[in-house]
Amino acid sequence: MTIIYHLSTRAAWQAAAAAGAYTADSLASEGFIHCSTAQQVRATATRIFAGRTDLILLCVDSAQVEPEIRYENLEGGDNLFPHIYGPLAVAAVVAVHDFPPRDEGGFDWPPGLPL
């Protein structure tokens, strides 16, 4: 099982759970849902969401994702990120973790979640 990760808010996840599928704003605007590998999550969170206190981390079993997953870097560079090209079925999310920032705004890996 390969797990990829997506940062979201609890409100967006609760709406997705009620609807049966998760659709990030980026799916409509860019055509895909941004995800990260375990090694990319903290840097991505700090770069984009520094200090946000409403984040959760979705753990997605890539084998259960029906839309295509492409590993790519659309900004240039060698660091490839997983992108999901369609709605994410709620059943593909195998765990949800709170993702609070540290005092200075950066993020730590959730305790108990294997890297």
Structure tokens given for 87: 């709605």
> What's the rounded mean pLDDT across residues 25-42?
96
Asked whether residue 108 is domain-assigned, the answer is no
DSSP string, 92-107: GEEEEEE-PBPTTS-B
Are β-strands 69-72 and 81-84 bridged in parallel, bridged antiparallel, or unpaired? antiparallel
Name residue 7's beta-bridge partners: 57
Q: How many domains does the chain have?
A: 1
Question: What is the pLDDT at residue 23?
Answer: 94
Name residue 8's beta-bridge partners: 56
pLDDT digits (tens, 9 = 90+) for 60-103: 999 999 999 999 998 888 999 999 999 999 999 999 999 999 98
Asked whether residue 94 is domain-assigned, the answer is no
Name residue 60's beta-bridge partners: 4, 93
Residue 90 has φ and ψ, to the nearest 5°, of: -55, -35
Asked whether residue 99 is domain-assigned, the answer is no
pLDDT exceeds cutoff 90 at 56: yes
Confidence of residue 6 (pLDDT cuts 50, 70, 90): very high
Asked whether residue 64 is domain-assigned, the answer is yes
Instruction: Count how many Cα atoms sit within 13 Å of the Cα of residue 109 in the half-sphere of its side chain.
Output: 12
Asked whether residue 23 is domain-assigned, the answer is yes
Tell me, what CATH number does 57's domain have? Answer: 3.20.170.20
Asked whether residue 13 is domain-assigned, the answer is yes
Asked whether residue 105 is domain-assigned, the answer is no
> Which element (helix H / strand E) includes 114?
none
Range of the domain at 17: 3-86
Residue 60 has φ and ψ, to the nearest 5°, of: -110, 125
Asked whether residue 93 is domain-assigned, the answer is no
Confidence of residue 28 (pLDDT cuts 50, 70, 90): very high
Taking residue 56's Cβ as centre, other Cβ atoms within 10 Å add up to 19
> Does the pTM exceed 0.85?
yes
